[in-house]
Amino acid sequence: MNTVRYIYYKLPVKYRYLARRLFYFPTDFLSKKKDLSPPKGLIYTGSGDFKKTGEEFFSYFKNYGNITPESYVLDIGSGIGRMAIPFTTFLNSKGSYNGFDIVKQGVDWCTKNISSNHPNFHFTHVSLKNDLYNLSAKNKASNFIFPYEHNTFDFVFLTSVFTHMLPKDVNHYLNEIKRVLKTNGKCLITFFILDDESRKLMGNSSKNFKFQRDNYALMSENVKEANVAYDKLYIFNSIREKGFIIENFFNGTWSGKTENVLSYQDILILKNI
């Protein structure tokens, strides 16, 4: 873990958001936005180019999610619109986008800047406890019932969500995804997956999950949900036991792998049966 990340995790949650706002204040103050994207100081969903990352994943959604302009789409952990924005020029009035997130500032920004111009885009704030994003909440992800009817969505995706959740929460979310996803619907999920190769390589990368637990490992013991990696056999079996087919598995570059690579994190494409 690098020094900046270590210091960031040491900060109380509310000060992590404040530190980012202060750091990017000069940039945001002087910038002249020409596209639909939030100020850098408000972005809490990871590093990298906000717009390019959204466009990158949208290409995966089209290639592997079987989405059409009339699809009903669910974004779990919708953040501050990084994945939603590309859908605004793709979905038509018969299609629908729903997203929920545990960070209110992201939901508020998306509602104000996206939903105001796209009435078929809906963002919901859900107050759930997470030691990286929200310590003040009392509700737990393991008890949260998605606010959607059975068999609603054609496509569900989670980017950098299960990388911040512990096993009990992940297993519950998989059950809920199964419930709200239509038969033959697709689901894209990003992970940090541990196998013999990634364990061997990760010591030389910025991601090093040193704290091994049963079936998963942590990068930090102080902020457990900051980064969570799952043993490959365990997570694959968990997914199949829920009634999904794993259609594709792509390695991420996070550990140093170079074969069958698609993005930074590992990616699984599931089909509901």
C-beta separation of 244 from 273 below 8 A:
yes
Asked whether residue 242 is assigned to any structural domain, the reply reads: yes
Is residue 10 one of the residues assigned to a domain? no
Tally of domains within the chain: 1
Instruction: Say which residue the tokens 């598995």 belong to.
Output: 249
Q: What is the CA radius of gyration of the chain?
A: 18
Instruction: State how beta strands 96-101 and 228-231 pair.
Output: unpaired
Residue 190 sits in which domain range? 47-272
Nearest to 110 by CA among 77, 147, 133, 150: 77
CA dihedral 199, 204, 206, 210 (to 10 degrees): 40
pLDDT at residue 82, rounded to an integer: 96
What is the rounded distance in angstroms from the CA atom of residue 157 to the CA atom of residue 105? 21
Question: Is residue 26 included in any domain, yes or no?
Answer: no
85 backbone dihedrals φ, ψ, rounded to 5°: -55, -45
Q: 74-93: string of b/e by CB count within 10 Å (b at 16+)? A: bbbbbbbbbbbbbbeebbee
The answer to whether position 30 is within a domain reads no
Cα gap 121→100, rounded to integer Å: 11
CATH code of the domain containing 253: 3.40.50.150
- Three state DSSP letters for the chain: CCHHHHHHHHCCHHHHHHHHHHHHHHHHHHCCCCCCCCCHHHCCCCCCCHHHHHHHHHHHHHHHCCCCCCCEEEEECCCCCCCCHHHHHCCCCCCEEEEEECCHHHHHHHHHHHHCCCCCEEEEECCCCECCCECCCCCCHHHCCCCCCCCCEEEEEECCCHHHCCHHHHHHHHHHHHHHEEEEEEEEEEECEECHHHHHHHHHCCCCCCEEECCEEECCCCCHHHCEEEEHHHHHHHHHHCCEEEEEEEEECCCCCCCCEEECCEEEEEEEC
Instruction: Classify residue 53: in a domain, yes or no.
Output: yes
In a domain, 4, yes or no: no
Residue 34 lies in a domain: no
pLDDT attached to residue 206: 81
Q: Which tokens in the block code for residue 248?
A: 């594709």
Per-residue model confidence as pLDDT tens for the chain (273 residues): 555 555 555 556 665 666 666 666 676 666 766 678 888 778 777 777 999 999 999 999 999 999 999 999 999 999 999 999 999 999 999 999 999 999 999 999 999 999 999 999 999 999 998 877 777 788 999 999 999 999 999 999 999 999 999 999 999 999 999 999 999 999 999 999 999 999 999 988 888 999 999 999 999 998 899 999 999 999 999 999 999 999 999 999 999 999 999 999 999 999 999
What pLDDT was estimated at residue 44?
76
Phi and psi at residue 252, to the nearest 5°: -100, 165
Residue 212 within a domain? yes
- Phi first, then psi, for residue 217 (nearest 5°) are -145, 155
Given the structure tokens 């270590």, which residue do they identify? 6
